[in-house]
Amino acid sequence: MRHFLTINDFSKDEILEILEISKNIKKEAKKKEYKPYLKDQVLAMIFEKSSTRTRISFEVGIYQLGGKGLFLSSKDIQLGRGEPVKDTARVIGRMCDMIMARVYKQSDLEDLAKFSGVPVINGLSDDFHPVQIMADYMTMLELGVSGKVAYIGDGNNIANSWLMLASKLGLELSMATPNGYEPPKNVVNIALENAKKSGAKICINNNIKEAINGANVVITDTWVSMGQEEEKQKRIKDFSGFMVDENLMKLANKNAIFMHCLPAYRGYEVSEEVFEKHADEIFLEAENRLHAQKGVMVWLDKHRNVK
């Protein structure tokens, strides 16, 4: 049984295979050709964290693949009353065909995968957001953009997942975070080990200009993620100077694209001017959540009986 908990669980060939499936499914969707790859299957969608893009893209995605999505808020099921994750997993696995969970703890996803007996997809955790990064890279491929990727901002789940993708695919990734907000050392160490095999170039420091200089892709994320609201004022102060604005974008290559996983807070991690100038890229990225995730679901179903 294969799961989609972190990109580090996949080889380069497997990642590219999923994206090829996603690309073909998108072509079909543009022609309004919705093939029932997952006919009559039920996707259980567990949400501890609120969502716009994850909720819509998975629910629409499973519907277009011929199945049905079942929305399960943690407040509405027994998880919200303290039922062990492993018990919830065993119940859902006997009634549904696949699970997507948007949670706080990565360990909860691992328990779902261990006990459910069905494929489990990480729709976001505090540690990783792999489906978002698959959509990011799909967008780069679609736009024909390659070369240096610069990530500016918090060393969070987006940063962690980009480290996994870049190090697996052999990309150049330069990351700048405020002092004290670097990605976890264990994640960085995994990326550096992967890079030895793939030839990826990974650079992480606190120098914004060095990170963005000559980049073809610039990425950022919110400074205050869900569950960090009490840290908002401290984070705003600590992230001073890390807003991606026109002056900073001038250091990137002339035709560099800008991406943001959304929601975007103008005047904090990105300026209004940069956001609107690159809106087409950002919302193509958002749309590709739908297609990339359909590719993930179809691939997992195809490898359902693979150990």
Indicate the fold that domain 3-129+289-301 takes in CATH: Rossmann fold (3.40.50)
What gap in Å lies between CA 296 and CA 290, rounded to an integer?
A: 10
Catalytic residues: 102, 129, 132, 221, 261, 289
Distance CA 87, CA 306 (A): 24
Task: Say how many residues make up the chain.
Answer: 307
Question: Which CATH number does 132-286 carry?
Answer: 3.40.50.1370
User: What is the SS3 assignment for 117?
Assistant: coil
170-208 residues labelled b (16+ CB within 10 A) or e (exposed): ebbbbbbbbeebbbeeebbebbeebbeeeebebebeeeb
Binding site members: 51-54, 78, 102, 129-132, 157, 221, 225-226, 261-262, 289
Strand order in the sheet with 217-220: 201-205, 172-176, 149-152, 217-220, 257-260
Tens-binned pLDDT, residue by residue, of the chain (307 aa):
999 999 999 999 999 999 999 999 999 999 999 999 999 999 999 999 989 999 999 999 999 999 999 999 988 888 767 889 999 999 999 999 999 999 999 999 999 999 999 999 999 999 999 999 999 999 999 999 999 999 999 999 999 999 999 999 999 999 999 999 999 999 999 999 999 999 999 999 999 999 999 999 999 999 987 677 788 899 999 999 999 999 999 999 999 999 999 999 999 999 999 999 999 999 999 999 999 999 999 999 999 987 6
Binding-site residues from annotation for carbamoyl phosphate:
51-54, 78, 102, 129-132, 261-262, 289
Q: DSSP character for 183?
A: P
Predicted TM-score (pTM) of this structure: 0.96
- What pLDDT was estimated at residue 307? 63
Q: Which two tokens stand for residue 237?
A: 């102060």
State the distance between the two ends of the chain, measured CA to CA, in whole angstroms: 5
Per-domain boundaries in the chain: 3-129+289-301, 132-286
Q: What count of other Cβ atoms lies within 10 Å of the Cβ of residue 65?
A: 22
Q: What are the binding residues for L-ornithine?
A: 157, 221, 225-226
Closest CA to 135 of 212, 45, 59, 57: 57
| Two domains, one topology: 3-129+289-301 and 132-286 | yes
